[in-house]
Structure 1
Amino acid sequence: MKPTKKASEMSVKELAAYIDQSVLKPEFTQDDIRKYIQEGIDFGCITVCINPASLDIAAELTKGTDTKICVVCDFPFGLSTTASKVMQAEEYCKRGDVFELDIVANYGWLRSGMYKEVEEDIKAVVDVCHKYGTAVKVIIETDSLTLDEIKEGTKAAVRAGADFIKSSTGFYTGGKSEGATVEVVQAMMDAGEGKIKVKGSGGIRTREHFLKLIDMGIDRMGVGYRSTPDVLGVTIEEVRKQK
């Protein structure tokens, strides 16, 4: 959705409301997870995006704050059976503290033109998440797809009733690693026709890129824990001094 003012005129708080801070590295220690979740909270990010094993830590740290929990499901490949994805989603959502769930679409199916199967796979997860009031973001791993496949994946997510379409996991190694380019984000917006929100993720590391996507009308961005200070233009120490 187009913002009511230029991104360059927004406050740190307004800009942070666009960010899901990613805390997803599999090698993170428990101390690392706590550190970067807390930084996401202190920056004022709308969510911290975490692995399921971090749910209890995230619940503890975000309690009583404005930052919510986004958990990934069947991440980062999206290759579980539909039944398995549904079981995972149910397990996470029934806790009652998961605000959003990011699911990975089977992008091999997208590359194979199996759009109906992708839609049905996504819809099964959407149905269980919506039962608990949890919004669903669908990652289609855009670096693996052509622009036409990106558009078809977006349309499949719309038909499935998903809340967001999302570009990347940040863990794709099978080809280019560009993530949420202007071209990719525009393709998702065009195909979504305003029927689904758009989340850019992957490659959002500079303030210029971050502000550009906001001005385009993006709804959310996944930003790595290292890049949050860069895109917001403020250090964690400066933010904490202001509190």
Structure 2
Amino acid sequence: MSPDQPAEQMSVAELAAYIDHSVLKPEFTVQDIAREVSNGVHFGCRTVCINPTAIETAAPLCEGTETGLCVVVDFPFGLSSTSSRLAQTRDVLAPGVTEVDIVANYGWLRSGRVDRVEQDLRAVAEVCHEAGVELKVILETDALTVDEVRAGAEAAIAAGADFIKTSTGFYTGTTQHEQTGASESMIATMLSVAAGRCKVKGSGSIRDRGHFLRLIDAGIDRMGIGYRSTPVVLGVEQDETPAGAGY
């Protein structure tokens, strides 16, 4: 989306509305999850992005706040069968869940099986939309050529995805690009392909405030920010007043 004002002039509350506060570390304890979800709520982030088993911890902490629950499905590989992905999706559609992030099968994209990707994603999108939940499709762009990213984005849009997204943040293979994750060039590519037909989420390698602000000015709709980086990109201290209280 095109912002109404330069990102540098936005309040903390306006900036926080761009953030899915990532709480996805598999080694997190229940106490770690509760702490970081509370921080996401404290800063007024649009959502906290969590694994399915964290719903029972996160939901009560987000209830009655402006921060929703974004739950990842078939993460981080995206290699389950469609029937399994549908079961996983239905399983996370709990009260308070506003968005689902799912990984496209990027092995299929690299194999040219774009039709299979579209068919698989359409089934998931239908389940989400029946529940009034938005679907973000992760393309794992570091593993793909630009042409494959474009093909994957078109498949996701045709399938009914509400967002196309760059990365899981967990990919450790050889990148196909000079820059990783939500680089400005990759976001420009995805915005160009989306062309207003769906929204664009960047994730991966957004760790400094300058990068964060430039992506907003470029027209990005949402960003997945690691739990340590949220206060950095917002330009606040960890213990400052919550974003909804005067920022």
* TM-score after normalising by structure 2: 0.96
Aligned to 2:115: 116
Match for 2:25: what amino acid?
Answer: K
Aligned to 2:104: 105
Unaligned stretches of 5+ residues in structure 1: none
Counterpart mapping for 1:173-212 below 5 A: 173-176=172-175, 178-212=180-214
Match for 2:201: what amino acid?
Answer: K
Maintained 8 Å contact 2:52/2:73: yes
Match for 1:144: what amino acid?
Answer: A
SS in 1 for 2:65: coil
Aligned to 1:66: 66
SS in 2 for 1:102: strand
Match for 1:145: what amino acid?
Answer: L
Maintained 8 Å contact 2:44/2:243: no
1:113 and 1:241 map into 2 onto residues whose CA distance is 45
Matched pairs, number: 242
Maintained 8 Å contact 2:136/2:162: yes
2:242 and 2:105 map into 1 onto residues whose CA distance is 41
Aligned to 2:87: 87
Question: CA distance change for structure 1 residues 242 and 5 in 2, over 3 Å: closer, same or farther?
Answer: closer
Match for 1:165: what amino acid?
Answer: I
Maintained 8 Å contact 1:152/1:191: no
Match for 1:147: what amino acid?
Answer: V
SS in 1 for 2:240: helix
Runs of 4+ in structure 1 displaced over 6 angstroms? none
2:243 and 2:170 map into 1 onto residues whose CA distance is 34
Aligned to 1:154: 153
1:8 and 1:54 map into 2 onto residues whose CA distance is 33
2:14 and 2:153 map into 1 onto residues whose CA distance is 27
Match for 1:90: what amino acid?
Answer: R
SS in 1 for 2:241: helix
Aligned to 1:145: 144
Question: CA distance change for structure 1 residues 241 and 158 in 2, over 3 Å: closer, same or farther?
Answer: closer
Deviation at 1:91, TM superposition (A): 1.3
SS in 1 for 2:97: coil
Maintained 8 Å contact 2:165/2:202: yes
Aligned to 1:54: 54
Question: CA distance change for structure 1 residues 242 and 137 in 2, over 3 Å: closer, same or farther?
Answer: closer
1:212 and 1:241 map into 2 onto residues whose CA distance is 20
1:4 and 1:60 map into 2 onto residues whose CA distance is 33
Match for 2:31: what amino acid?
Answer: D
* TM-score after normalising by structure 1: 0.97
2:87 and 2:130 map into 1 onto residues whose CA distance is 13
Aligned to 1:230: 232
Once structures 1 and 2 are overlaid, which stretch shifts more, 176-185 or 193-202?
Answer: 176-185
Match for 2:85: what amino acid?
Answer: K
- CA offset digits 1:112-147 (Å, max 9, x no partner): 111111100110100011110000000010000111
Unaligned stretches of 5+ residues in structure 2: none
In proportion to residue count, which structure has more helix?
1
Question: Alignment identity in percent?
Answer: 57
Match for 1:120: what amino acid?
Answer: Q
Match for 1:72: what amino acid?
Answer: V
Maintained 8 Å contact 1:96/1:132: no
Question: CA distance change for structure 1 residues 242 and 165 in 2, over 3 Å: closer, same or farther?
Answer: closer
1:14 and 1:241 map into 2 onto residues whose CA distance is 9
1:98 and 1:18 map into 2 onto residues whose CA distance is 17
- CA offset digits 1:19-53 (Å, max 9, x no partner): 00000000001111011000000000000000000
SS in 2 for 1:189: helix
1:185 and 1:157 map into 2 onto residues whose CA distance is 16
